Amino acid sequence: MSYSATGSEDFNIPNADYRELDHKKLTPMLQHYVQVKEQYPHALLLYRVGDFFECFFQDAVTLSVQLELALTSRDGGKEIGRVPMTGVPHHALERYCPQLVEKGYPVVVCDQTEDAAVAQAEKRMVTREITKILTPGTLTDESMLSARQNNFLAAVVLAKDYWGLAYADISTGEFFTTQARGLEHLHQELMRLQPSEILMPTDAPDLGKMLRPGEKSDRLPEGLPDCFCYSWRSQVVFSLQEATDRLLSKFKVRSLEGMGCDRIPLGVRAAGGLLEYVEETQKQNAVTLQLLRSYSTQDFLILDHQSRRNLEITETVRDRTFNGSLLCAIDRTLTAMGGRALRRWILQPLLKVKGIEARQDTIAELVQDTELRDSIRQNLRQIADLERLTGKAGSGSANAKDLISLAASLAQLPHLAQLASQGRSPFLRALQTVPPELEQLAHKIKAYLVENPPQQLKEGGLIQAGVNGDLDDMRSEAQEDQEWLASLETRERERTGISNLKVGYNKTFGYYISIARSKADRVPEDYTRKQTLVNEERYITQELKEREARILSAREDLNQLEYELFVQLRTEVGEQTELIRSVSRAVAAIDGLSGLAQVAVVQGYCRPTLTEGREIIIREGRHPVVEQTLGRPFFVPNSTSLAKNDKKESTDLVILTGPNASGKSCYLRQVGLIQLMAQIGSFVPATSATLGLCDRIFTRVGAVDDLATGQSTFMVEMNETANILNHGTSHSLVLLDEIGRGTATFDGLSIAWAVAEYLATEIKARTIFATHYHELNELASILDNVANYQVTVKEMPDKIIFLHQVQPGGADKSYGIEAGRLAGLPKVVIERAKQVMTQIEQHSKIAVGLRQGISKS
Ligand SMILES: Nc1ncnc2c1ncn2[C@@H]1O[C@H](COP(=O)(O)OP(=O)(O)OP(=O)(O)O)[C@@H](O)[C@H]1O
Task: Convert the pLDDT of each residue in 642-671 to its tens digit.
Answer: 987 655 668 999 999 988 888 999 999 999
Write down the pLDDT at residue 846.
58
Could you give the CA distance from residue 214 to residue 226 in angstroms, rounded to a whole number? 5
- What residue owns the CA closest to ligand 1's atom 14? 661
255 pLDDT tier (thresholds 50, 70, 90): confident
Which of 573, 175, 586 has its CA nearest to residue 383? 586
242-245-250 Cα angle (round to 5): 125
**Comparing 18-134 with 147-299, is the CATH topology the same?**
no
Segment among 83-97, 215-229, 622-636, 686-700 with least mean pLDDT:
215-229
Determine what percent of the chain is predicted with pLDDT higher than 70.
Answer: 94
CB 80 within 8 A of CB 21: yes
Strands 733-737 and 638-642: unpaired
- Best of 804, 807, 818, 822 for a ligand 1 pocket test (most atoms within 8 Å of beta carbon): 804
The closest-lying atom of ligand 1 relative to the alpha carbon of residue 658 is 21
Was 663 annotated as part of a binding site? yes
- What residue owns the CA closest to ligand 1's atom 12? 663
- Burial class of residue 228 in the structure, from the number of CB atoms within 10 Å of its CB (0-12 exposed, 13-18 middle, 19+ buried): buried
Calculate how far, in angstroms, residue 332's C-alpha sits from the geometric centre of ligand 1: 26
Q: What is the mean pLDDT of residues 69-89?
A: 92
Write down the pLDDT at residue 848.
62
Write down the pLDDT at residue 273.
97
Could you give the CA distance from residue 304 to residue 727 in angstroms, rounded to a whole number? 11
Q: Is the pLDDT of residue 386 over 90?
A: yes
Was 703 annotated as part of a binding site? no
Was 661 annotated as part of a binding site? yes
301 pLDDT tier (thresholds 50, 70, 90): very high
Was 664 annotated as part of a binding site? yes
Give tens-digit pLDDT for 365-385. Answer: 999 999 999 999 999 999 999
Was 478 annotated as part of a binding site? no
Which of 263, 198, 259, 260 has its CA nearest to residue 225? 198
Mean pLDDT of the chain, nearest integer: 89
The closest-lying atom of ligand 1 relative to the alpha carbon of residue 638 is 1
Give tens-digit pLDDT for 447-486. Answer: 999 999 998 888 888 999 999 999 999 999 888 988 998 8
Which residue stretches of 251-385 are H helix? 265-281, 305-310, 326-330, 336-347, 353-368, 370-380
Which residue stretches of 604-658 are H helix? 626-630
Write down the pLDDT at residue 579.
93
CATH of 331-461+571-601 given 3.40.50.300, 1.10.1420.10, 3.90.600.10, 1.10.10.10:
1.10.1420.10
- Best of 622, 666, 814 for a ligand 1 pocket test (most atoms within 8 Å of beta carbon): 666
827 pLDDT tier (thresholds 50, 70, 90): confident
Write down the pLDDT at residue 82.
92
Ligand 1, CB cutoff 6 Å, lining residues: 626, 630, 634-636, 638, 658, 660-666, 804
718 pLDDT tier (thresholds 50, 70, 90): confident
* DSSP SS3 for 631: coil
CATH level 3 topology of 147-299:
Nucleotidyltransferase; domain 5 (3.30.420)
Give tens-digit pLDDT for 318-370. Answer: 889 999 999 999 999 999 999 999 999 999 999 999 999 999 999 999 999 99
Write down the pLDDT at residue 3.
34
Give tens-digit pLDDT for 721-778. Answer: 898 999 999 999 999 998 877 666 777 888 899 999 999 999 999 999 999 888 888 8
**At 88, which amino acid appears?**
V
Could you give the CA distance from residue 768 to residue 735 in angstroms, rounded to a whole number? 5
Where b means 16+ CB within 10 Å and e means fewer, 75-97 reads: ebbeebeebbbbbbebeebeebb
Q: Is the pLDDT of residue 440 over 70?
A: yes
For helices 436-448 and 542-575, angle between their N-to-C axes, nearest 10 degrees = 170
Q: Is the pLDDT of residue 7 over 50?
A: no
Write down the pLDDT at residue 705.
43
Q: Is the pLDDT of residue 841 over 80?
A: no
Calculate how far, in angstroms, residue 208's C-alpha sits from the geometric centre of ligand 1: 50
Main-chain dihedrals φ then ψ at residue 103, nearest 5 degrees: -80, 0
Write down the pLDDT at residue 719.
84
Was 648 annotated as part of a binding site? no
C-alpha dist (Å) from residue 442 to 351, 407, 408, 410: 39, 4, 7, 6
523 pLDDT tier (thresholds 50, 70, 90): confident
Write down the pLDDT at residue 706.
46
Chain CA centroid to CA 395, Å:
20
CB 127 within 8 A of CB 113: yes
Could you give the CA distance from residue 615 to residue 692 in angstroms, rounded to a whole number? 5
Was 857 annotated as part of a binding site? no
CATH level 3 topology of 18-134:
MutS, DNA mismatch repair protein, domain I (3.40.1170)
The DSSP annotation for 505-525 comes to EETTTEEEEEEEGGGGGG--T
Map out the domains of the chain as residue ranges.
18-134, 147-299, 331-461+571-601, 604-814
The closest-lying atom of ligand 1 relative to the alpha carbon of residue 791 is 21
* DSSP SS3 for 103: coil
Determine what percent of the chain is predicted with pLDDT higher than 90.
Answer: 58
- Best of 310, 655, 662, 674 for a ligand 1 pocket test (most atoms within 8 Å of beta carbon): 662
Q: Is the pLDDT of residue 786 over 50?
A: yes
Could you give the CA distance from residue 500 to residue 576 in angstroms, rounded to a whole number? 55
Write down the pLDDT at residue 849.
65
Q: Is the pLDDT of residue 852 over 70?
A: no
Which of 651, 643, 667, 645 has its CA nearest to residue 791? 667
Write down the pLDDT at residue 648.
60
Write down the pLDDT at residue 582.
92
Q: Is the pLDDT of residue 703 over 60?
A: no
C-alpha dist (Å) from residue 601 to 506, 526, 607, 625, 683: 62, 82, 11, 16, 10
Which residue has better confidence, 821 or 181? Answer: 181
CATH of 604-814 given 3.40.50.300, 3.30.1490.20, 3.40.50.1100, 3.20.20.10:
3.40.50.300
For helices 240-250 and 265-281, angle between their N-to-C axes, nearest 10 degrees = 60
- Best of 628, 660, 665, 771 for a ligand 1 pocket test (most atoms within 8 Å of beta carbon): 665
Calculate how far, in angstroms, residue 667's C-alpha sits from the geometric centre of ligand 1: 8
Could you give the CA distance from residue 202 to residue 279 in angstroms, rounded to a whole number? 19
CB 272 within 8 A of CB 247: yes
Write down the pLDDT at residue 534.
87
Give tens-digit pLDDT for 599-640. Answer: 999 999 999 999 999 999 999 999 999 999 999 899 999 999
Write down the pLDDT at residue 851.
65
Write down the pLDDT at residue 649.
64
Could you give the CA distance from residue 355 to residue 345 in angstroms, rounded to a whole number? 12
> Does the interface predicted TM-score (ipTM) exceed 0.90?
yes
DSSP E strands: which ranges in 138-286? Answer: 153-159, 162-168, 175-181, 197-202, 210-211, 230-234
Calculate how far, in angstroms, residue 735's C-alpha sits from the geometric centre of ligand 1: 15
Was 659 annotated as part of a binding site? yes
4 pLDDT tier (thresholds 50, 70, 90): very low
Give tens-digit pLDDT for 39-65. Answer: 888 899 999 999 999 999 999 999 999
The closest-lying atom of ligand 1 relative to the alpha carbon of residue 805 is 1
Calculate how far, in angstroms, residue 662's C-alpha sits from the geometric centre of ligand 1: 5
- What residue owns the CA closest to ligand 1's atom 24? 660
Calculate how far, in angstroms, residue 349's C-alpha sits from the geometric centre of ligand 1: 26
Residues 6 or more apart from 166 whose CB is under 8 A from it?
A: 154, 155, 175, 176, 177, 178, 267, 270, 271, 273, 274, 292
Which residue has better confidence, 708 or 571? Answer: 571
